[in-house]
Amino acid sequence: MRLHRNLVFAVVDALNYIFNEGEYADKVVEKVLKYDKRWGARDRGFIAETTYEMVRWRRLYAEIAEVKAPYSRQNLFRMFAVWAVLKGIKLPDWKQIEPTPERRIKGKFDELSKIRKYRESVPDWMDELCAKSLGEALWTKEIHALNEQAEVILRVNTLKTTKDNLSSVLHEAGVETESIKGYPDALRLKERSNVFITEAFKNGWFEVQDASSQLVAPFLDVKPGQRVVDTCAGAGGKTLHLAALMENKGQLIALDIYGNKLKELKRRAKRDGAHNVETRAIDSTKVIKKLYDTADRVLIDAPCTGLGVLKRNPDAKWKLQPDFLEKIMVTQQQILQDYSRIVKPGGKLVYATCSILPQENIQQVKKFLSSEAGKDFSLIKDSNIYACKTGFDGFYMALLEKNQLRK
């Protein structure tokens, strides 16, 4: 591979925004890709994939390059040189790239690869916390799986088409897909491709949604005609899946504290033909209180550390702080206490996170069940989904049922 100056400079710019200015990787890549309209798919792919790879392996590359944050531009070029050497890519004779001792880099890589926190490129506190929470063996396998690049998975919008029909239409557009056993509405891209420019996407025939995330809505056991409330709807990935499972029949209320996310959900719902979705911003406690004891089904897709989705958000390794877990656990329990009251007697609730930590998952459910608010609920089943076992994101889901009122 021959390295092009403008593409490498774009990667270094991106790393500066992410590492030094604290910007989110996905937003930065989007911004940097607008530098030059002449860049083709291969150029854009190089910038995006190299940036994400260097974010993913930041600690390892910085250790080998012997640089520390905050990183100067020269530091970032040194880290880039480490990436290139380990990839077997010949470095160009540019003034920005210092003479690079390839044998020393490879030797240091071999040495550091024996230590998990360097090999998997995670902060000390995260490595210690997860090893203690999951056990050494499971954490070692899980972080290795979470450092692999996420595949592109589509969820077929069954309100508008079938899986076979979508696969055929995408094939005609030059996008090859395959089914995934155990995931009825999922199609996996055989090669990465910009599916957002396809007519099928513009017509609302699919959403991009990880396979593990696609398991949450069916876990809630919704039926057409029910009243269903998605309490932490965000931009609505799971809301839209619920709408499809409900066949557009019944009432689906999407709640969130962020009104801008609900605006995006409305736009997506219109494209997907999901007509039974109603959005409500949680701008006061009245919004929740009005819904007490009214819903057949409630989904709480709770805010969390996001440690199960490091495949697609590798910068979270560096953004998360040690004290965040304690803070978010308080929020999770409060949400469970408050939003569970929306479930009517005989109704069901799913508590879900995209975390792999038991502190955020089963331990939160047990704490809720032992509380006054949870005394009328029973745990029907739960599921820990690990990347090392599925190849997809890490998730947790618990299905609870509220007891019928005694006559």
Is it the case that residue 407 has pLDDT exceeding 60? no
Q: What is the residue type of 290?
A: K
Identical fold for domains 5-121 and 213-402, yes or no, is no
- Summarised one tens digit per residue, pLDDT across range 290-303 is 999 999 999 999 99
Q: Which of 130, 232, 304, 354 is catalytic?
A: 354
Residue in this structure with the two tokens 């969820």, named with its chain if needed:
155
Q: Residue 31 — pLDDT band, cuts 50, 70, 90?
A: very high
Number of helices (H) and strands (E), helices first, in the chain?
19, 11
- Helix%, strand%, coil% for the chain, nearest 5: 45, 15, 35
Question: How is domain 5-121 classified at the CATH fold level?
Answer: N-utilizing Substance Protein B Homolog; Chain A (1.10.940)
Q: What percentage of the chain reaches a pLDDT higher than 70?
A: 100
Q: Which helix (H) or strand (E) holds 15?
A: helix 5-15
Delimit the domains of the chain by residue range. Answer: 5-121, 153-208, 213-402
Residue ranges of alpha helices (H) inside 179-323 are: 199-202, 216-219, 237-245, 259-272, 285-289, 316-319
- Summarised one tens digit per residue, pLDDT across range 69-124 is 999 999 999 999 999 999 999 998 898 988 889 999 999 999 999 999 999 999 99
Active site residue 354: yes
Q: Which CATH number fits domain 213-402: 3.30.70.20, 3.30.1370.60, 3.40.50.300, 3.40.50.150?
A: 3.40.50.150
- Summarised one tens digit per residue, pLDDT across range 150-170 is 999 999 999 999 999 999 999
Nearest to 84 by CA among 13, 192, 145, 2: 2
Is it the case that residue 135 has pLDDT exceeding 90? yes
The torsion angles phi and psi of 356, rounded to 5 degrees, stand at -105, 0
Q: What is the pLDDT of residue 406?
A: 62
Q: What is the pLDDT of residue 386?
A: 98
CA pseudo-torsion sign 220, 224, 229, 234? positive
Q: What is the residue type of 10?
A: A
pTM: 0.95
- Checking 279-283 for CB contacts under 8 A at 24+ apart, the result is 279/233, 279/253, 279/254, 279/255, 280/253, 280/254, 280/255, 281/255, 281/256, 281/257, 282/255, 282/256, 282/257, 283/257, 283/259
- Summarised one tens digit per residue, pLDDT across range 372-399 is 999 999 999 999 999 999 999 999 999 9
Instruction: Give me the chain's average pLDDT, please.
Output: 96
Q: What letter would DSSP give residue 304?
A: -
Q: Which CATH number fits domain 153-208: 3.30.70.1170, 3.90.550.10, 2.102.10.10, 2.40.10.170?
A: 3.30.70.1170
